[in-house]
Amino acid sequence: MIHFITLSVFPEIFESPLNCSIFKKAQQKEILMFTHFNIRDFSTNKHKKVDDTVYGGGAGMLLMPQPLFDAIDFIKKSYKIDKVIFFSPSGKVLNNSIVKQFASETDKTYLLLCGRYEGIDQRVIDNFVDIEISIGNYILSGGELAALVFIDSVGRFIEGVLGNEESLIEESLTDSLVEYPQYTKPADFRGLKVPETLLSGHHKNILKWKKEKQLELTKVKRPDLL
């Protein structure tokens, strides 16, 4: 079981994506578990304020240390946290090898810290964060979607989460190549035909065709992978 605990200002963002399809089933099967905390609930301010202006100037607001320190202290007291992950554009860019590394160990509890506005006070990062992860070279308005991308990509590698584990083996990027083109029925749709080899039933030729297509397409679409 992997337990993902999120800490953000908008916990409601997590509800729908994690409560349908394979992630709903994974929770029922107790393979994955999710707990969502709202940073605002830990604010000692009478207006439940969580952000303030940035020292040294600059536009926008920053999540202030008090609610985050208290929230993380509370969560660390309540659960045995293996790693605190902060989602940030300055982090390591998420890729398949990082995903697999996280998915290789079950029985873990991760605290996923999500920024908002201009981000969070550096003292929170210095005191609590074990790893910073970015999901790509662009800026999001909050860390919640990044946390969801992380949960989704790691979660589906955990045994029992996907219906068909073989799909993991055959998938693109698992051997650093993109996927071969795939077709479903009918074999002839409005005159558009499925490649002969795939209909031949000749297992060896099919494997060869798939590998060739993977190489061919990787060269054209994702030369960076080669």
Q: Which residues bind ligand SAH (CB under 6 A)?
A: 87-90, 114-116, 118-120, 134-136, 138-140, 142-143, 146
The 10 Å Cβ neighbour count of residue 86 is: 25
Which of 82, 113, 95, 115 is CA-nearest to residue 2?
Answer: 82
Residue 84 in tokens: 């605190």
Shortest reach from residue 51's CB to ligand SAH, in Å: 11
Question: Using alpha carbons only, what angle is made at residue 158 by residues 154 and 160, rounded to the nearest 5 degrees?
Answer: 140
Write the DSSP symbol of residue 195: P
Min dist. Cβ of residue 31 to ligand SAH (A): 25
Q: Which residues pair with 32 in a beta bridge?
A: 2
For 128, residues 6+ apart whose C-beta sits below 8 A from its C-beta are: 72, 84, 113
- Supply the minimum distance, in Å, between the C-beta of residue 142 and ligand SAH: 5
**Beta carbon of residue 71, minimum distance to ligand SAH (angstroms, whole number):** 15
Q: Decide whether 22 or 140 has the Cβ nearer to ligand SAH.
A: 140
Residue sitting closest to ligand SAH (CB):
115
User: Shortest gap between Cβ of 115 and ligand SAH (angstroms)?
Assistant: 2
Nearer to ligand SAH, 26 or 146 (CB): 146
Nearest residue to 86 via CA among 192, 162, 199, 6: 6
**Residue 139 or 220 having the CB closest to ligand SAH:** 139
Q: Which amino acid is at 226?
A: L
> d(Cα 63, Cα 119) in Å, to the nearest integer?
6
Measured from the CB atom, the residue of 139 and 169 that comes closer to ligand SAH is 139
Give the residue with the Cβ less far from ligand SAH, 55 or 138: 138
Q: How far is the CB of 143 from ligand SAH (least distance, A)?
A: 3
Nearest alpha-carbon partner for 130 in 101, 78, 87:
87
Nearer to ligand SAH, 34 or 150 (CB): 150
